[in-house]
Structure 1
């Protein structure tokens, strides 16, 4: 298995922060659209980490 690149590590960190922000937005009772935007940020960060893997063709 290849070692993660710095870009992947950054994307995974952003995904973790976005996931925490999503949970916080639900608990704090923010509007649904704020939670949706934060959730999309989490999904997009994970997708970017996957697509930027070293062995991707």
Structure 2
């Protein structure tokens, strides 16, 4: 397994923070669209980490 690149590490960190923010927004009871935006940020960060993996063309 290849070592993650700095960009992948940053994307995974942002995804983890966005996931925590999503859970917090649901627990606190924020409006649904705020939770949706935070959830999309998590998904996009994970997708970016996957697409920037070493050896991806």
TM-score range, shorter chain: over 0.9
Q: 2:2, 2:16 → 1: CA distance?
A: 21
Contact map agreement 1:2 1:55 (CA 8 A) in 2: no
Residue 49 (structure 1) shift: 0.1
Residue 31 (structure 1) shift: 0.1
- Name segments (4+ residues, structure 1) moved above 3 Å: none
In the comparison of the two structures, how many residue pairs are matched? 57
Unaligned runs of 5+ in 2: none
Unaligned runs of 5+ in 1: none
Residue 19 (structure 1) shift: 0.1
Q: Which residue of 1 is the match for residue 5 of structure 2?
A: 5
Q: 2:4, 2:22 → 1: CA distance?
A: 25
RMSD: 0.4
